[in-house]
Amino acid sequence: MSAAAPLLQVEGLKKHFPLKHGLFGGEVVAIRAVDGVDLTIAPGETLCLVGESGSGKSTVGKLVLRLTEPTAGTIRLEGVDITHLGPDAMRPYRRRAQMVFQDPYASLNPRMTAGKIVSEPLENYPDIGASARKERVAALFEQVGLRPDAMQRFPFEFSGGQRQRLGIARALALNPALIVADEPVSALDVSVQAQVLNLMMDLQEELGLAYLFISHDLGVVEHIGHHVAVMYLGRIVEYATKDALFENPRHPYSQALLAAAPLPDPRAKRERVVLQGDIPSPINPPTGCAFHTRCPKAFDRCKVETPQLVPTADGRLASCHLVE
């Protein structure tokens, strides 16, 4: 996928949420939120994870940071397998990957001042002293475009965009190599979205950050992404560079997603691909290709045989019998 040594490498990642247990503790019924995902992110790269609600993209983000325990698969961060590290062994790696949350209101403790929120991660790793910590917090505030006097204020005194800047400052505090951003701008006004996205891109250039950028907004993805992975029902159905995907989506689901994204030009005409129905239940995913129930191009083989994510002639990955 990428030539440079990968920063994050995820293989066969699965997360099943059990609904019922069998007599001996085995899973009988489970929600297959993530069902075999492979990902690679190179240092300094932005991988966008797109898909509709319920496709498992947020769960992937949490799994990568070990905020939930995976059912199967391996997660390698900077070459180290962190999948089964205990809380203490995990601590040195926690600081390498941080998260920016979707909801700028719920992700900041309402009882802590902005300065305290940003300095908390630094307190957890006592390799810098109290005075250096203060300087670092001040530098972080400047870096994300917040005024230094904002440190004494509480989260409710900030606007949504400022709060998200605060969330980014907190994520940056430990000098991570990877930031998982779970829909970081979807709760913001469109005008503020652009500011926050540009801030994230500037920081990437400045600090060499890699982003796992989770989004359902293709306009945002087109702005910030380098590579795009399209998820459907807990699996990746297409992985390509941003340009390749936006110019010529190969998987029928990617085509439908792109066709559904609004265009800024009201007179622009394009082929409409309208999907029928909702995303199927991840408790009983369809046999064969999970997408065949809604795919406009489905044929008999799709119902019985599961397509594998395989390289196509133009150097991308797609899981569809039509592109093999």
Residues that bind other proteins (CB under 8 A): 62, 65, 67, 87, 91, 94-95, 97-99, 101-103, 106-112, 120-121, 124-125, 154, 156-157, 167, 170, 173-174
Closest CB to other proteins among residues 20, 111: 111
Closest CB to other proteins among residues 15, 170: 170
Closest CB to other proteins among residues 121, 307: 121
Closest CB to other proteins among residues 154, 246: 154
Name the one residue in this structure whose structure tokens are 């936006």: 246
The torsion region of residue 176 among left (phi > 0), alpha (psi -120 to 50) and beta comes to: beta
Closest CB to other proteins among residues 25, 87: 87
Closest CB to other proteins among residues 144, 279: 144
Q: Smallest gap, in angstroms, from Cβ of residue 35 to other proteins?
A: 23
> What's the CA gap between 92 and 150, in Å, rounded?
30
> What's the CA gap between 284 and 262, in Å, rounded?
31
Closest CB to other proteins among residues 102, 293: 102
Nearest to 291, CA basis, from 261, 250, 263: 250
Q: Smallest gap, in angstroms, from Cβ of residue 19 to other proteins?
A: 16
Q: Smallest gap, in angstroms, from Cβ of residue 91 to other proteins?
A: 5
Nearest to 177, CA basis, from 207, 144, 203, 202: 207
Q: Supply φ then ψ for residue 153, to 5 degrees.
A: -90, 165
Nearest to 37, CA basis, from 72, 67, 68, 7: 72
Q: Smallest gap, in angstroms, from Cβ of residue 123 to other proteins?
A: 8
Nearest to 39, CA basis, from 202, 235, 304: 235
Closest CB to other proteins among residues 24, 156: 156
Q: Smallest gap, in angstroms, from Cβ of residue 103 to other proteins?
A: 6
Query: What's the start-to-end Cα distance of the chain, in Å?
Result: 18
Residue 82 CB burial class (10 angstroms; 0-12, 13-18, ≥19): buried
Sheet holding 227-232, edge to edge: 97-100, 178-182, 210-215, 46-50, 227-232, 235-241, 317-318, 310-311
Ranges assigned E (strand) in the chain: 8-21, 27-41, 46-50, 72-77, 80-81, 97-100, 178-182, 210-215, 227-232, 235-241, 310-311, 317-318
Contact criterion met (CB below 8 Å) for 317 and 311: yes
